[in-house]
Amino acid sequence: MKLFELLTENERKLGRLLKFKKEQIIFHEDDECSYVGIVLKGEIKIASFTLSGKEIVYNVVIENQMFGNNLIFSKNPYYKGHVLADSDGELILFNKENLLKILQSNVSFLEAYLSLQAEFSKNLNNTIKLLSLSSAEERLLYYLKQNNPLKIKSISALSESLYLSREATSRLVSKMVKEGKINRNGNIIYLPKDIK
């Protein structure tokens, strides 16, 4: 069930609805995080830019996911990147006080909130492990084992997930398909041992 649907009418009134347009900056890097946001429609990302203008994406938040939930209770609650709209959409924002009220009174919402927190932590641990792997091939195999079969939007999207360049990822996928280490059928990549 969607997070928003677990809220009562009165709990929804504790939030502030915000509509956003593609490429809009919702919060700036180094702004204090004063809200937890739940994406109702659309997609946002948390990203920074290098001096050369290259975008570094830390997190992508899709419908029914949250952001700010780790920062709002932190001793250093400042965004590490811009909160940017990847599409048109809307979200609802809850300040810390109202979020705590909801968490204390709505057990269903609390369980869903904790479940999303657990998934976030698991994904963060997987990313840390992925980045600790020294070779590109190890990264792809590890990522594929966590997401098998893997449906990719594009090689560019896969390269961002692997923290590799697009060119390196394209060569890697072609090489590993030729060697029989992975299989590819259009935008689906999967491990050979899992073919049924």
Q: Cβ(37)–Cβ(66) under 8 Å?
A: yes
Per-residue pLDDT, 1: 63
pTM value is 0.73
In this prediction, residue 195 carries a pLDDT of 43
Closest CA to 181 of 136, 120, 137: 137
Q: Which pair of tokens denotes residue 188?
A: 């689906």
Per-residue confidence in pLDDT tens, the chain, 196 aa: 688 999 999 999 999 999 999 999 999 999 999 999 999 999 999 988 888 877 778 788 999 899 999 899 999 999 999 999 999 999 999 999 999 999 999 999 999 999 988 888 888 788 888 888 889 999 999 998 988 889 988 898 898 888 888 899 999 999 999 999 998 988 899 888 754 4
What is 38-69 written as a DSSP string?
A: EEEES-EEEEEE-TT--EEEEEEE-TT-EEST
Q: Write the CB contacts of 39 (distance below 8 Å, at least 6 apart in sequence).
A: 61, 62, 63, 64, 65, 66, 67, 89, 91
Last residue of a domain, one of 129, 151, 185: 129
Q: Are 43 and 110 within one domain?
A: yes
Instruction: Clarify whether residues 96 and 139 are in a common domain.
Output: no
CATH code of 154's domain: 1.10.10.10
155 and 111 together in one domain: no
Q: Give the residue from 129, 158, 186 where a domain finishes.
A: 129
Q: How many helices (H) and strands (E) does the chain have?
A: 6, 11
Residue-range definition of the domain harbouring residue 181: 134-194
Assess whether 117 and 60 both reside in one domain: yes
Are residues 31 and 125 both part of a single domain? yes
Angle CA(68)–CA(160)–CA(182) in degrees, nearest 5? 125
Domains in the chain, number: 2
**Residue 62 φ then ψ, to 5°:** -105, 180
Q: Answer for the pair 67, 94: CB distance below 8 angstroms, yes or no.
A: no
Residue 196's pLDDT is 41
